[in-house]
Amino acid sequence: MSQNILITGAAGYIGGSVLAELASRRNGLIKTLNISAAVRSEEQAQSLSKLGVNVVRVDLRDEAAISEVILHNEIDIVVHTASSRDPSLITHIIKALGRRREVSGKETYFIHSSVATVFSEDGGWPFGEVRDTDPIFAKEKEIEGGHPVRETNILVTEEAKARGVTSFIIAVPVVYGRGTGEWRKVSANIPAYIRTSIAHKVVYKFDVDGHPPAVHISDLVAFYALLIEKILQKENIPKGEDGYYFVIAHRAPWWAIMQRLAEALYARGLVDEPKTQIWPSYDVAAESLGFPRVYMKAIGTSSGQLVAVNAYRLGWQPKWDEERFLDSMDDEVQSVLELDTVKPSLFDPVSTS
Ligand SMILES: NC(=O)c1ccc[n+]([C@@H]2O[C@H](COP(=O)([O-])OP(=O)(O)OC[C@H]3O[C@@H](n4cnc5c(N)ncnc54)[C@H](OP(=O)(O)O)[C@@H]3O)[C@@H](O)[C@H]2O)c1
């Protein structure tokens, strides 16, 4: 019997790219899925309608509306990419999936898109090296300080357990590359540096280098598809408290990236010199880049000792490595010049209900 899947944040960079991948699959169990895509605006709905999927307009803060979407469309699997740090959206979706399970007698699944940075020191992780096979849920609960992404991870696991929903947490690192969705096609991080460098005619780097984990959007999307395929095959894979997946292909060496960006932008006449300068301060950087000051250090200089095991055990084989990534900086510039038309909403205030 075919299953029904809902992708939230389907107008976004990651959600749109996951949607494009699932909708275009011609083999495996994924092609049997009935796909629904959740977006917020009419313009977005129209733009996605050409994909031949069921596009629903819903604000996920509206509990009754998301419950109706899940029950009416008989949704068994939700891929949540709309927010990693707004717990109320999660509660609404998981509650509805719990009700769907009661009504249908079938298992329901919640795949959460989280943030890998919270497993680095600057992201508030005090335990040093971390494998996704470690008892991460218990460790996350030990940490005080209430980071919204971490609180949301904990909520996902606890709420899903309470409602009989099977949950997975994908810890997403720095994502780069041209998205394949219909609406937002560029990522948050590197495009912000490119946009700001063009505005200042200078490429700035931080006073401290960082090497955070990274993944190309095509490899990330391939992992979501692999996980969904395993769910459809009913394979016994890590889930719930054990269901953390670090989707890490390689590192992003920031100083080397900034140097490559300086060269690429200079060659196009977009900055004044083919070399970098140090940001005058973290305040100026946050203000210029449009990132919240409180996360600026974590975003700009953190590294983290994350070790990805679970994704590779599932059979994930990323195609991009650090060298290919560094060689693609001019493509990143080109993507921003061509496609950077949608204002990011990633750091908009979260709902309080
Ligand atoms: N991109 C990265 O490098 C990266 C790295 C680590 C983690 N992540 C995490 O991955 C997730 C997706 O990232 P992304 O880059 O794809 O972000 P994105 O492009 O901003 O996509 C998020 C989408 O969710 C939608 N959305 C937000 N709140 C909503 C609500 N209340 N109701 C309905 N839709 C809502 C947004 O709608 P609008 O279009 O209307 O604003 C947007 O289309 C985020 O949680 C992010 O924290 C991303």
Domain end point (choices 246, 266, 296): 246
Report how far ligand 1's centroid is from the alpha carbon of 272 (Å). 33
Query: Has residue 197 been placed in a domain?
Result: yes
pLDDT digits (tens, 9 = 90+) for 120-167: 999 999 999 999 999 999 999 999 877 999 999 999 999 999 999 999
Q: Are residues 259 and 328 in the same domain?
A: yes
Q: Are residues 227 and 325 in the same domain?
A: no
Report how far ligand 1's centroid is from the alpha carbon of 81 (Å). 6
Report how far ligand 1's centroid is from the alpha carbon of 40 (Å). 11
Q: Which atom of ligand 1 is nearest to the CA of 344?
A: 20
Report how far ligand 1's centroid is from the alpha carbon of 259 (Å). 28
Cα 233 to the center of its chain, rounded Å: 24
Q: Are residues 104 and 56 in the same domain?
A: yes
- Paired tokens of 246: 């670090």
Residue nearest to atom 3 of ligand 1 (CA): 175
pLDDT digits (tens, 9 = 90+) for 291-331: 999 999 999 999 999 999 999 999 999 999 999 999 999 99
Buried b (16+ CB within 10 A) or exposed e, 116-136: bbbbbebbbbeeeebebebeb
Report how far ligand 1's centroid is from the alpha carbon of 268 (Å). 30
- Write down the residue that tokens 């700001």 correspond to: 196
Average pLDDT over residues 207-228: 98
Report how far ligand 1's centroid is from the alpha carbon of 184 (Å). 10
What pLDDT, on a 0 to 100 scale, did the predictor assign at position 349? 63
Q: Are residues 197 and 121 in the same domain?
A: no
% of the chain residues with pLDDT over 70? 98
What pLDDT, on a 0 to 100 scale, did the predictor assign at position 27? 87
Report how far ligand 1's centroid is from the alpha carbon of 187 (Å). 10
Query: Has residue 314 been placed in a domain?
Result: no
pLDDT digits (tens, 9 = 90+) for 22-59: 999 988 999 999 999 999 999 999 999 999 999 999 99
Q: Which atom of ligand 1 is nearest to the CA of 342?
A: 39
Query: Has residue 311 been placed in a domain?
Result: no
Report how far ligand 1's centroid is from the alpha carbon of 105 (Å). 31
Residues 321, 130: Cα–Cα separation, whole Å: 21
Residue nearest to atom 46 of ligand 1 (CA): 84
Report how far ligand 1's centroid is from the alpha carbon of 263 (Å). 30
Residues 14, 73: Cα–Cα separation, whole Å: 22
Average pLDDT over residues 181-196: 96
What pLDDT, on a 0 to 100 scale, did the predictor assign at position 342? 73
pLDDT digits (tens, 9 = 90+) for 109-119: 999 999 999 99
Domain end point (choices 246, 266, 288): 246
Query: Has residue 345 been placed in a domain?
Result: no
Average pLDDT over residues 240-268: 98
Q: Are residues 152 and 227 in the same domain?
A: yes
What pLDDT, on a 0 to 100 scale, did the predictor assign at position 353? 47
Query: Has residue 350 been placed in a domain?
Result: no
Residue nearest to atom 12 of ligand 1 (CA): 81
Q: Are residues 139 and 169 in the same domain?
A: yes
What does the mean pLDDT of the chain come to? 95
Q: Give the residue numbers spanning the domain of 258.
A: 181-212+250-304+319-339
- Give the mutation target among 6, 7, 14, 84 for probing the ligand 1 site: most ligand atoms within 8 A of CB: 14
Instruction: List beta partners, residue 115.
Output: 172
Q: Are residues 166 and 233 in the same domain?
A: yes
Residues 113, 196: Cα–Cα separation, whole Å: 27
Q: Are residues 116 and 232 in the same domain?
A: yes
**Lining residues, ligand 1, CB within 6 Å:** 9, 11-15, 40-41, 59-61, 81-84, 89, 113, 115, 172, 174-175, 184, 187-189, 344-346
Grouping H, G, I as helix, E, B as strand and the rest as coil, residue 228 is helix
Asked if pLDDT for residue 352 goes beyond 70, the answer is: no
Q: Are residues 191 and 292 in the same domain?
A: yes
Give the list of residues 6+ apart from residue 302 with CB closer than 8 angstroms, or none. Answer: 117, 120, 121, 122, 123, 210, 212
What pLDDT, on a 0 to 100 scale, did the predictor assign at position 340? 79
What pLDDT, on a 0 to 100 scale, did the predictor assign at position 351? 56
- Helices vs. strands in the chain: H and E counts, helices first: 14, 14
- CB 224 within 8 Å of CB 5: no
- Give the mutation target among 57, 89, 170, 175 for probing the ligand 1 site: most ligand atoms within 8 A of CB: 175
Query: Has residue 348 been placed in a domain?
Result: no
What pLDDT, on a 0 to 100 scale, did the predictor assign at position 41? 96
Residue nearest to atom 18 of ligand 1 (CA): 12
Residues 24, 206: Cα–Cα separation, whole Å: 40
Q: Which atom of ligand 1 is nearest to the CA of 117?
A: 6
Q: Are residues 117 and 259 in the same domain?
A: no
Query: Could you give the number of structural domains in the chain?
Result: 2
Query: Has residue 353 been placed in a domain?
Result: no
Query: Has residue 344 been placed in a domain?
Result: no
Q: Are residues 218 and 71 in the same domain?
A: yes
Residue 92 is part of a domain; what is its CATH number? 3.40.50.720
Asked if pLDDT for residue 275 goes beyond 80, the answer is: yes
Q: Are residues 102 and 198 in the same domain?
A: no
Residues 347, 353: Cα–Cα separation, whole Å: 17
Strands 203-205 and 166-172: unpaired
Q: Which atom of ligand 1 is nearest to the CA of 61?
A: 31
Asked if pLDDT for residue 333 goes beyond 70, the answer is: yes
Domain end point (choices 196, 228, 246): 246
